[in-house]
Structure 1
């Protein structure tokens, strides 16, 4: 029985990066031997065990055979005669198909170290094309390692293209797809994830609403980059540069979907694209079963991002309606996330990445003014029920008028 560290832990050690998850494979052992040593079995698809003391995971070396569609369409075989090389060949990329023993010796049958040096994401074997989830995984790795200069090998991109055209991507469950998408959006260069999906044709299958943005022009005066798809990638890049959370990054990705439905005869203007985009954002939210926080923020940003950009011009009554829409009195953090997404939208424009966004502080001030209106005096006046709600709304409107007037005077 021999134990090896495999996969990402070996890869990241060789790259000099922090190692977070450690996967281990056991060669030459049976399930019964593992049980006799006190290991506890977990998982139902293939033999994985938890160590009796550390709780670390150990998987028996195994082979796999395609048996159906999708990520789960595989039959696994684990036995003592499965070699380390046979276990490694089923992995997705050469840089993930290396093993290291306790003495530090590297087993690298598929030239993963060479591809690390060449900064190449390359598939291990033709069996790569049997698992559609690998299209998303490779695109995610491209986003993760883009800062180090990694790119997807041409032959791997071709296999990803074949997978995208095969219909296999449609067999992925929303949960598996969302797991990869959400992880990719949190990488340093999430826009690379979208770029790679587009290069291999997967974006057209998984996110046709985003694919539709490319080639759609916007007014050059406001968008020097012109192309709506290029703008969306730039907004996503800004969200990563500013360390925004997942909900903001998701909203940044889908905020302009309505522009993809503008008739070409109306280009480069996109009148009412905010409203037209809501149906598309809702569809994407549901397709991937995005978390509720992501769904809500995406819809709100899609509907109101131009309100934020025009915040300094909005009437006090419109400001109040905006704050009410966000339930800013009970959920101020959601309004803050909205402001962040809108600022990323403003910065995601060619040459305007560092331009100030005074609308952000102006909106925060408006929220403080409205939230600061006290309820107690209205109750003491005997208002209750609907009358109390209307009275509170009137007082908040007054407060916003005062705030707007003071802001206009530079106070």
Structure 2
């Protein structure tokens, strides 16, 4: 029975990248051997165990054989006779197919160290094409390691395109697609995930509304980068630079889907794209089964980002309308996330990356001033029923107007 550290922990140690978790593979053991040593079995499709003290994952060495469609269509075989090399061979990329023994020796049968040095994401074997999820995984790794200069090996990109063109991506479950997408969104360079998927011809099945943005022009005066797809990737990049949460990054990704619906004869104008894009954001979110907090913020950003951009020109009553529609009173943190997404949108343009965004500060002040209005005093003044709401609205509008006068 031999135990090896495998996969990401070996890769990231060699790359001097933070190691998040450690996984181990056990060679020459059976399920009974593991249970006798106090390990707790958790794997259903193949034997995975939790260490009785550390809680780290230990898996029996196994092989995989394609037997059906999609990423679940595999027959796994684990046994004491499966070698370490056989276990490593089933992995996706060479940089993920290395192991380390207890003495620190690296076992690298598929030249993962060589590819680390060359900054290449390269498949281990032609069996790569058997699992369509690997298209998304490779794109995610590209987003994670972009800062180190990694790119995809031409042969691997060719296999990714073969998978995309086979139709097998459509067989993936929404849950798995969202898991990979959400993890990619939280990487240091999330925009790379989507640029890689475009290179791999892998957008149509799950990200069609997003793919439709490339080739759609914006007015050059406001968008020197012109292309809406390029702008969207720049906004996503800015959201990462702002260290934004997942809901903010998701909102940044889909905020302009309405521009993909603008009739070409109206280009480069996109009047009304904010409202027209809401249906597309809902469809996109439903397809990927996006969590409610991500979808809800995305819908608000989609509808109101132009209002926020024009904050300094809006009438006080319109400012209050935005605060009301966004439920900023009960959900101030979500409103703050909306402002952060709008900041990323404003900076996600060529030449505007470092531009100050006073609109966000103005809306924060407006929210604070309007929230400070004392509704109890309105009641104490003798107002009742609908009159209370009317007086509250008037007082809040006056408070916001006073900010303009002060400026």
* TM-score category of the 2 structures, normalised to the smaller one: over 0.9
Q: Which residue of 1 aligns with 2:56?
A: 56
1:179 aligns to 2:179 (yes or no): yes
Kindly state the Cα deviation for residue 382 of structure 1 after the two structures are TM-superposed. Answer: 3.6
Q: Which residue of 2 aligns with 1:348?
A: 348
Instruction: Give 3-state SS (helix, strand or coil) of 1:370's partner.
Output: helix
Rounded Cα–Cα distance in structure 2 between residues aligned with 1:76 and 1:29: 16
Q: Which residue of 1 aligns with 2:37?
A: 37
* Cα 1:33–1:384 shift into 2, 3 Å: farther
In structure 1, list runs of 5 or more residues that go unmatched.
Answer: none
Q: Which residue of 1 aligns with 2:232?
A: 232
1:63-82 residue pairs with structure 2 within 5 A?
63-82=63-82
Q: Which residue of 2 aligns with 1:114?
A: 114
Kindly state the Cα deviation for residue 385 of structure 1 after the two structures are TM-superposed. Answer: 4.1
1:405 aligns to 2:405 (yes or no): yes
1:136 aligns to 2:136 (yes or no): yes
Rounded Cα–Cα distance in structure 2 between residues aligned with 1:341 and 1:305: 8
1:98 aligns to 2:88 (yes or no): no
Q: Which residue of 1 aligns with 2:297?
A: 297
Q: Which residue of 2 aligns with 1:25?
A: 25
Residues 118-144 of structure 1, C-alpha deviation per residue, up to 9 Å, x if partnerless? 000001011111111111110000000
Answer whether contact 2:206 2:288 (CA < 8 A) is retained.
no
Answer whether contact 1:47 1:78 (CA < 8 A) is retained.
yes
Residues 263-322 of structure 1, C-alpha deviation per residue, up to 9 Å, x if partnerless? 111111111111111000011111111111111110000011110111111011110100
Rounded Cα–Cα distance in structure 1 between residues aligned with 2:54 and 2:332: 42
Q: Which residue of 2 aligns with 1:8?
A: 8
Stretch of structure 1 that moved more, 287-296 or 112-121 = 287-296
Residues 303-358 of structure 1, C-alpha deviation per residue, up to 9 Å, x if partnerless? 11110111111011110100001111111111111111111111011011111111
Instruction: Give 3-state SS (helix, strand or coil) of 1:205's partner.
Output: coil
Residues 366-394 of structure 1, C-alpha deviation per residue, up to 9 Å, x if partnerless? 11111111111022134344332232222
Q: Which residue of 2 aligns with 1:396?
A: 396
Q: Which residue of 2 aligns with 1:364?
A: 364
Q: Which residue of 2 aligns with 1:279?
A: 279
Q: If the length of structure 1 is used for normalisation, what is the TM-score?
A: 0.97
Rounded Cα–Cα distance in structure 1 between residues aligned with 2:272 and 2:179: 32
CA RMSD of aligned residues (A): 1.0
Residues 92-149 of structure 1, C-alpha deviation per residue, up to 9 Å, x if partnerless? 0000000000100111110000000000000101111111111111000000000000
Instruction: Give 3-state SS (helix, strand or coil) of 2:65's partner.
Output: strand
Rounded Cα–Cα distance in structure 2 between residues aligned with 1:205 and 1:153: 24
In structure 2, list runs of 5 or more residues that go unmatched.
Answer: none
Rounded Cα–Cα distance in structure 2 between residues aligned with 1:40 and 1:332: 44
Instruction: Give 3-state SS (helix, strand or coil) of 2:220's partner.
Output: coil
Q: If the length of structure 2 is used for normalisation, what is the TM-score?
A: 0.98
Answer whether contact 1:198 1:204 (CA < 8 A) is retained.
no
Q: Which residue of 2 aligns with 1:331?
A: 331
Rounded Cα–Cα distance in structure 2 between residues aligned with 1:112 and 1:132: 22
Kindly state the Cα deviation for residue 205 of structure 1 after the two structures are TM-superposed. Answer: 2.2
Stretch of structure 1 that moved more, 179-188 or 389-398 = 389-398
Rounded Cα–Cα distance in structure 1 between residues aligned with 2:333 and 2:54: 39
